[in-house]
Amino acid sequence: MPDSRVPRSRRFLVCEPRHFAVQYAINPWMHPDRPVDVDLAQEQWQSLIRAYRTHGHTVDSVEPVPGLPDMVFAANAAFVVGGRVFGSLFHAPERRPESVHYDTWFKTAGYDVYRPESVTEGEGDLVWTGRYVLAGTGFRTTREAHREAQEFLGHPVIGLTLVDPYFYHLDTALFVLDDDNVCYYPEAFSPGSREVLKRLYPDAVLATREDAVAFGLNSVSDGRNVFIAPRAEALAERLADHGYVPVPVDLSEFHKAGGGIKCCTQEIR
């Protein structure tokens, strides 16, 4: 069965966790009184980069900046489709300076960067499916930003409402498996949004709350290989039954800030 899945080479943008820490609380996972092991975080992050490269993916890096402990979560900084960069305007004031450094990287690399007027947090809430954009709202990214994204990118944007504060970004509750299917945790969404997902993806791989709490939905798939949190064992088995190949990568130190594999990974399309 796994041989029927075809991986696609991807290009990722990341940021080394040199200054990673939990210095404030902007989601339910963050507790500034819990110490962060920066050395362990570095080791775990390096293991993710090795896993990507081992599976044939290209990895570029943004230089980390002192005083920006969440800059490691590169996915939140932008959303890129067809070489068009839709930037971020973070909800939390503590994170807003990150956008400047990511914008500079993209501009230096020759991209035009759109600066949104509404709060939006990149691939945290904007997910490319190959045909349209699934867009989360409810905690961070606004519906006004969904409209901005559609106007700038020229692709249909389908809004989905998140209702559980532990899954405050779309990328903590859903990820794309390939051009035809997704994996998601239904209870993270409003009733209407669950109906939309059922209609769009009747054969989706469904996750449990246990899978989601283990950061199993904060995964990255290349169409065959799924880079996934090791604690999401039941979900990994379910994915394997559907022909995907789970690649466990432990980023548990980043869970203390509410992030995981996908949060650390910006895809450049």
User: Which are the catalytic amino acids?
Assistant: 169, 263
User: What's the maximum distance between 2 C-alpha atoms anywhere in the chain?
Assistant: 47
Strands 133-137 and 157-161, sheet pairing: parallel
Residue type at 142? T
Can you tell me the distance from the alpha carbon of 138 to that of 190, in angstroms, rounded to the nearest whole number? Answer: 10
Instruction: List the one residue out of 22, 13, 93 whose CA is nearest residue 58.
Output: 13
Instruction: List the one residue out of 254, 78, 49, 104 whose CA is nearest residue 172.
Output: 254
> DSSP E strands: which ranges in the chain?
11-15, 58-62, 78-81, 84-87, 113-114, 126-128, 133-137, 157-161, 174-176, 182-184, 205-206, 220-221, 225-228, 245-248, 266-267
Entry field: residues in the chain: 269
Neighbours of 112 (CB within 10 A): 10
CB of 52 closer than 8 Å to CB of 74: no
φ, ψ for residue 58, nearest 5 deg: -90, 135
